[in-house]
Amino acid sequence: MTDNQGNPVSVLAVTLCPPDGQNSTSFTDSLMRLFAHDATTTGSLIRGGGPMLLPASPNTIPDRRNQAAAYLLDESSADWLLFIDSDMGFSENALEMLLDAADPVGAPVIGALCFGLRQVEADGVGGFHTQPFPTLYDWTENKETRKWGFSLRYDYSADVVTQVAATGAAFLLIHRSALQVMREQMGDVWFDRARMEAGEGLMGEDIAFCARLGRLGIPLFVHTGVRTTHLKSVWVDEEFYLGQRTLAMMRADVSRETEAVQE
């Protein structure tokens, strides 16, 4: 894979790991397959000199991401920085798909389709009802209430490259030019947490990074065809079971109907 001048593209892969080094088996398998695929195809990760594994606790994640950004600009010649969190699963060609859609000018920051999990309400027996959500955010403003901020985009088109106002950094590809512009305009604060406005809580380091991109006019995209999995803990109760059971039965019905049509 080459850039617009025909030069081979290089990508520095950086993973934030638990301090004890206990990564999930699924993540390790995905990472090995990603590098094996790269070694026999584009070689972009090999040229990037990674993977760089940085131990991080919840409190040090912003510092570690900033450390990776500074390293790319000051110590590495890689064209792109790829963040991969250690609780993710992904296909062997995930990076290749992102690079095909990325562009240093038109699409300098692009992420995979990732999902989070939020606690919705207490379940009454010591746990919580949870709800998955895609990490695609739009910027919304209400002139009447004078409220503004990021809102989740629950409905999205599959297999497209879509512009967003914010996304997570769990599987995020960033061109060095975007990091350089931010350094020149704001300093080395790429992933420092920040408040949207006075009196509000701090944004996560990834959303704060996206907010800075927006202020600088740097476009941000998500490729919904690059699908990932995200290891999360959930409370399993009867309601959860019945909901999943209903979905399984619906899938089975659809499968039988499809087979009947094919016959």
pLDDT at residue 91 in the model: 95
pLDDT, residue 134, reads 92
pLDDT reported for residue 189: 96
What's residue 21's pLDDT? Answer: 62
Q: Are 167 and 210 in contact (CB under 8 A)?
A: yes
Q: Which domains does the chain have, with CATH numbers?
A: 11-115+134-232 (3.90.550.60)
Distance in angstroms between the alpha carbons of the first and the last residue of the chain:
43
> What pLDDT is stored for residue 77 in this prediction?
94
Position 256: which residue type?
R
- What is the sign, positive or negative, of the torsion defined by CA atoms of 34, 31, 88, 139? negative
- Structural tokens at position 20: 């004890």
pLDDT of residue 24: 77
The whole model's pTM is what? 0.88
**Block residue for tokens 């064209």:** 79
Segment 76-109, tens digit of pLDDT: 999 999 999 999 999 999 999 999 999 999 999 9
Residues 173 and 111: beta-carbon distance below 8 Å: yes
Q: What angle do CA 59, 62, 66 make, to 5 degrees?
A: 145
* Low pLDDT (below 70) residues in the chain: 1-7, 21-22, 142-147, 197-200, 254-263
Closest CA to 174 of 190, 159, 163, 160: 190
Q: Write the burial class of residue 215 (CB in 10 Å: 0-12 exposed, 13-18 middle, 19+ buried).
A: exposed
pLDDT at 58: 86
pLDDT attached to residue 121: 82
pLDDT for res 129: 81
Residue 142 has a pLDDT of 67
